[in-house]
Amino acid sequence: MLKEAEQKIRNISNFPKEGIEFKDITPLLKDAKAFHDVIDALAQKFSSEKIDYVVAIESRGYLLGAPLAYKLGAGLVVVRKPGKLPAAVERVEYALEYGTDVLEIHKDAIEQGKRVLIIDDLLATGGTVAAACELVNRLGGKIVSAAFLIELSSLNGRQKLSSVAEVYSLFTY
């Protein structure tokens, strides 16, 4: 059943730049059964973990995080690019291949000890999710796991996250 969903992920070569093989999940999202199956599979994996908050990373993480939170009976917390959140924020800068990027979370988004599941569409080097973990840790949340639709194992994101979060991915390449 998940095999069919996996087949809906489309590879686009040289996007957004030369040498990148982009995993396009839009064909999966528009297929009602595939979308349903991947959300159900993620929800089933974490259904007994008493998740308080699903923390979703802008922007493709939102597409999975919102239905997953709903299904788990958890709240949804958004991690955003800089300058988008209106109230007081916690902010982290992290390294990219070239330069740096910033992620923010509302300071009051997570209370001490709450059980958190972090979600994004894809794990590559792990830099993005490591930054989101840093934000959750600063607020005192307890990271149960970081979950992904897709893991690109050759980029060693799982190792980078080994001291920070357990990693779960539905499809590994």
Binding site for ligand AMP (CB under 6 A): 20-23, 57, 60, 120-128, 157
Closest separation in Å from C-beta 26 to ligand AMP: 11
Question: Would you state the structure tokens that stand for residue 62, as one six-digit string?
Answer: 């939102």
Name the minimum Å distance from CB 128 to ligand AMP. 3
Choosing from 4, 97, 111, 166, the catalytic residue is 97
* 114 vs 127 by CB, closer to ligand AMP: 127
Residue 114 or 150: which CB sits closer to ligand AMP? Answer: 150
Q: Which of 10, 58, 60, 91 is catalytic?
A: 60
Nearest to 150 by CA among 124, 127, 164, 171: 171
166 as an active site residue: the answer is no
Beta strands in the chain (DSSP E): 10-13, 21-24, 53-57, 75-79, 89-95, 100-106, 115-123, 142-151, 167-172
> Among this protein's residues, is 97 annotated catalytic?
yes
From residue 72, alpha-carbon distances to 50, 53, 64, 77, 145 in Å are 8, 9, 12, 14, 14
Which positions are annotated as active-site residues?
60, 97
